[in-house]
Amino acid sequence: MLLGLFILSAILIKTSLLGLGWISIGIGLGGYLFCRFYHINLADLLIKKFKQLFITGAILHLLLYLGLIVKLFLIDSIEDIPAFLISHLVYHHALSALIAAALTFMTIGVYLTQQKLKQADITSPSLLN
């Protein structure tokens, strides 16, 4: 199950990097709901970090689209449409890359937490007896 959640987070990062916002929102919400309602045999801290990762990806993409909608309402005339399209490409894809970078660092944090928990299980006194 742990590998599946890491694969899902890698897919979320990839779709964010490609600028596929609505797909990223769907994956983020789906991953969050999966972690919330499906009984996963993992440490509570790992499940919490995965839920935080997935909901962060979804919320950041929703905020990105909210910013684009606000920018859309600032169009005054037909001459502003080409500038909006060009700025959309730069704005949307640059911020999507930043979201992917943040999600990458969060995924690395989840992995390091998993390694610490694994190391703590190996060195626990109950296993030495």
- In the chain, the number of structural domains is 1
Say which DSSP state 47 is in: H
Assess if residue 19 is contained within a domain: yes
pLDDT band for position 91 (50/70/90)?
confident
For residues 24 and 12, is the Cβ–Cβ distance under 8 A? yes
For residues 43 and 117, is the Cβ–Cβ distance under 8 A? yes
Assess if residue 128 is contained within a domain: no
Quote the pLDDT of residue 128.
Answer: 44
Assess if residue 66 is contained within a domain: yes
The answer on pLDDT for 101 being more than 90 is yes
Assess if residue 127 is contained within a domain: no
Distance CA 57, CA 80 (A): 30
Assess if residue 129 is contained within a domain: no
pLDDT band for position 19 (50/70/90)?
confident
**Whether the predicted model's global pTM rises above the 0.85 cut:** yes
Percent of the chain exceeding pLDDT 90 equals 67
Distance CA 68, CA 77 (A): 17
Q: Give the residue numbers spanning the domain of 33.
A: 2-122
* Range 107-114 average pLDDT: 96
Here the tokens at position 120 are: 């703590």
Quote the pLDDT of residue 107.
Answer: 97
* Range 45-51 average pLDDT: 96
Quote the pLDDT of residue 94.
Answer: 92
pLDDT band for position 125 (50/70/90)?
low
* CA neighbor of 54 nearest in space, from 94, 116, 101, 5: 5
Assess if residue 72 is contained within a domain: yes
The answer on pLDDT for 80 being more than 70 is yes
Q: Which helix (H) or strand (E) segment is 40 a member of?
A: none
